[in-house]
Amino acid sequence: MEPDAIRDVLTGLLDDSGAAWTSAAGHICFCLAKDGAAWQVACRCIPGRLLVYSRWPFAVEDEEDARRQCCEINAQLVQGAVYLPPDGQPVCRTDAALPDAYDAALHIREAIEYNAAAVCRFWQKFLPGPTL
């Protein structure tokens, strides 16, 4: 699928779900929340593929420990990866292969759901410690 066709399917799914979204710098952006956790998601449409990026809304306190946590998480993830960019806010990346329109909506939903499940499962790993 071409990026514009992928974008149309993605934004259609978001519209159907009632999610507010924006388009910025070539990404479709929206927010997700579950069990008190809320984070930003940015999706990038490239030929034949959708890339899904979720960003924790805080920077880690200990970068060395966070990198170790990323390695442990990545050993458990079947799809995608968690990494620590220079700004210190962990990111979870997943993707959906979309060679054609057949089942594109299903594959896009699955990629976003897997990404959200990973963020929720590993949310606590990067939480800042208590402050006094």
Is 85 part of a structural domain of the chain? yes
Is 129 part of a structural domain of the chain? no
Number of domains in the chain: 1
Q: How many CB atoms lie within 10 A of CB 48?
A: 14
- Contact predicate 51/41, CB 8 Å: no
Domain assignment of residue 27, given as a range = 3-124
Q: How many CB atoms lie within 10 A of CB 24?
A: 9
Looking at the chain, the number of H-run helices and the number of E-run strands are 3, 6
pLDDT of the chain, 132 residues: tens digit per residue: 999 999 999 999 999 999 999 999 999 999 999 988 999 999 999 999 999 999 999 999 999 999 999 999 999 999 999 999 999 999 999 999 999 999 999 999 999 999 999 999 999 999 887 644
Is 107 part of a structural domain of the chain? yes
Is 17 part of a structural domain of the chain? yes
Is 46 part of a structural domain of the chain? yes
Is 40 part of a structural domain of the chain? yes
Q: Which positions ≥6 away from 80 have C-beta within 8 Å?
A: 52, 92, 93, 94, 95, 114, 115, 118
The domain spanning residue 65 has which CATH number? Answer: 3.30.1460.10
Is 34 part of a structural domain of the chain? yes
pTM score: 0.92
DSSP assignment letter at 128:
P
Is 16 part of a structural domain of the chain? yes
Q: What is the CA radius of gyration of the chain?
A: 15
